[in-house]
Amino acid sequence: MSSYDSVQIQKVEIDDAKGLEFWSQNFDEKLAVPTSEFYKPMLKKFSKENQKVVNVLCKHIICCAGDSNKKDVSCVDFDKFLKRFGPFEECIRNSKKVFFTETKRTDGGLEYTLVPWYHGYLDDCKKKIVDNPDKFLVREPSKKTVWNLLTVEYSKTIKKDGKTLLARNKKYLEINRKKRLFVWYSRDGKKQGHPKIEVALREMTKKRPPIVSDMWTQVEDQSLYQAASFDDE
């Protein structure tokens, strides 16, 4: 049984006016659509953005899936994404800075790689933490309606009474959209903020390496996910 709260959707409600207009024009009053159906008008709308980035955001990030079993995007998912990274016209550019690393190729073009630490919704995060000592992950909060927080978890090895134990830590990273900051509390209780999420995570986890997500493996392993082609078929 999932530990995440279910969300009962009665009608399309998207706070961002442009986002609501986009949804209504392309999907009418549908409460959810397949990711493949959602992706096509998004790619058309954001045609100047990197195709891989739009594809991965639409098929993995916006629905917060974390795996390939979730095949649809709901209006609630879309509303949550826009609250985090909106306004609608800037949502791809804003979220790209969070979920992708950018490198320059020898031909002068830009290459985008999905970050390995984001796991989306996780039903059994405890197992991943225990199986990967002294590493961290970022997942969605248990309440699916919470848009301004991400959950950061890691384990640390401690010695007690001559025994080696594994302690599990859970923290929250706040997305302050207005100030474009990622906010957290340091060990001494002081509120900290930084515009780059990688800096915030480095400070929160004391430079621990990430637990690589299944999403990353699927996206970045070219034999499993043809990231270079991104066919619309």
The model's pLDDT over 196-205, given as tens digits with 9 standing for 90+, comes to 999 999 999 9
- The pLDDT of residue 96: 97
- The pLDDT of residue 26: 98
pLDDT tens per residue across span 165-190: 788 899 999 999 999 999 999 888 89
- The pLDDT of residue 231: 46
pLDDT at 43 over 90: yes
* Residue 118 near residue 95, CB atoms below 8 Å: no
CA–CA gap between residue 151 and residue 141 (Å, rounded): 6
CA–CA gap between residue 18 and residue 22 (Å, rounded): 6
DSSP state of 7: -
Beta strands in 96-187 (DSSP E): 100-104, 110-114, 136-139, 149-160, 163-176, 181-185
Residue 170 pairs with which residues in a beta bridge? 153
pLDDT tens per residue across span 213-223: 989 998 987 54
pLDDT at 228 over 60: no
DSSP state of 46: T
| 17: number of Cβ within 10 Å | 10
Q: Which of 31-40, 184-193, 222-231 has the lowest mean pLDDT?
A: 222-231
pLDDT tens per residue across span 78-103: 999 999 999 999 999 999 999 999 99
Q: How confident is the model at residue 134 (pLDDT cuts 50, 70, 90)?
A: very high
- The pLDDT of residue 224: 47
CA–CA gap between residue 91 and residue 183 (Å, rounded): 20
